Amino acid sequence: MGALAPAVIYSSIQGLAVLALSWLTSVRGTSLVDALRSWDGWWFRAIAEGGYSGVPTYLVDSFGHRDATTPLAFFPGYPKLVGLLSTTTGMSSTTAGITVSVLSGVACAYALAAMGELVRGGSRRVGLVLVALFAASPMGIALTMVYSEALFCAFAAWALVFLLRRQWVYAGLLCACAGLVRTTGAALVAAIGLAAVVAVVSRKDSWRPWVGGLLAPLGLLGYLGFVAYRTGELNGWFALQERGWDSRFDWGVATAGWVVDRLSDGRSILDFVELLVLLGSLVLVVVAARARVAWPLVVHGAVVLVMTFASNGTMASKIRLMIPAFTLLVPVAIGLAKRRTSTVLVTCACVAVVSSWFGAYSLVLWGYAI
């Protein structure tokens, strides 16, 4: 497959996820398109079509409330790009949103293929396995939905690739872009910022780490500052999240309580799988650290998990929120790439099938996993 390999692998696995979702929506008498643009997708499309001030009044927060600042809970990077594509091509906002997600996912796949070659013990084969594992992430269907995960992951993955190559300015610029897409950009800022500090203290790469480190937080801090100005509250974005979606940093109290409850009284397949994913992600942090994966990659993945675990809100959405922690899959990709080709293919195929079914089940039958 040569140069097309990352795109083919990623698209094939994501295509399987869409097929599974299409099958289940047809069985349940619902719409595939509605599933792909559901939940936050409605907000993203509304912002893309009319800006923050043009969001229809029927879109409300989880408590049924709405004021002029409510739409500001959604970062602008993804919906603005969707709106630009829709305006310039005449696409509907739904088509434009899916297109941005699909193209972003492919761009991320090429970044992961490059990352697999740059890490210790890496190779072209490791990179392609990493692409497959990422595409088959639990709730990986979100990467093809009208959601911001794919765009954020593309910016984050390329920023980390440039960081590994010590191309500081590019790393900082892409980190700034990622910060305009999701609050998870804080994890990327932590990784690149700490790496820049280490480089400056070690007097490496001249002025470049300074510039990269200063650029990295601009997107995230810029939008948080904008929301603070619009709301009149210094912690405006976080206040919007807490008032509208009961989402706040609680040091992991809610997550711990949920785990204890589900261990003593499991209620569904989703609960059981989510529990396994949560526990498995913690194991991956330890494995990545012991495997001596480049520490900025470990920091990025670990901070994503901290941000996910230490916040309350809808517990079922945590699997989706962990997708950007793709760097923790690096040691798995390295280990799997050492196996026979048949073993690699069967393993990746099985993971993709299970993940595709689970994503479809979560969206159609459970309904609160996104």
Between 53 and 244, the higher pLDDT residue: 53
Residue keyed to tokens 């990493």? 130
Tell me, what's the pLDDT at 267? 57
Structure tokens belonging to residue 147: 């959601």
Structure tokens belonging to residue 324: 């950007």
Tell me, what's the pLDDT at 111? 98
User: 261: pLDDT confidence band, cut at 50, 70 and 90?
Assistant: low
Tell me, what's the pLDDT at 275? 79
How many CB atoms lie under 10 A from the CB of residue 275? 16
Mean of per-residue pLDDT scores for the chain = 89
pLDDT at 269 over 70: no
- Taking CA atoms, 275 is separated from 26, 101, 218, 270, 357, in Å, by 29, 27, 35, 8, 17
pLDDT at 35 over 60: yes
How long is the chain?
370
CA distance 237 to 183: 10
Q: Per residue in 208-255, pLDDT tens?
A: 999 999 999 999 999 999 899 888 888 888 888 888 767 777 777 777
What would the mean pLDDT of 25-43 be, rounded to a whole number? 88
- The beta-carbon contacts of 259-262 under 8 Å, at least 24 apart in sequence, are none
Q: Indicate the pTM of the whole model.
A: 0.91
User: 263: pLDDT confidence band, cut at 50, 70 and 90?
Assistant: low
CB 136 within 8 Å of CB 352:
yes
Choose the weakest-confidence range: 74-88, 185-199, 228-242: 228-242
Between 205 and 20, the higher pLDDT residue: 20
Three-state SS at 6 = helix
Tell me, what's the pLDDT at 1? 65
What would the mean pLDDT of 146-159 be, rounded to a whole number? 96
Three-state SS at 311 = strand
268 φ/ψ angles, rounded to the nearest 5 degrees: -165, 170
What would the mean pLDDT of 102-115 be, rounded to a whole number? 97
Q: Per residue in 310-333, pLDDT tens?
A: 777 666 678 888 999 999 999 999
Q: Quick one: residue 283, left, alpha or beta (phi over 0 = left, psi -120 to 50 = alpha)?
A: alpha
pLDDT at 99 over 70: yes
Tell me, what's the pLDDT at 363? 86
CA distance 256 to 215: 36
* pLDDT > 90: percent of the chain: 62
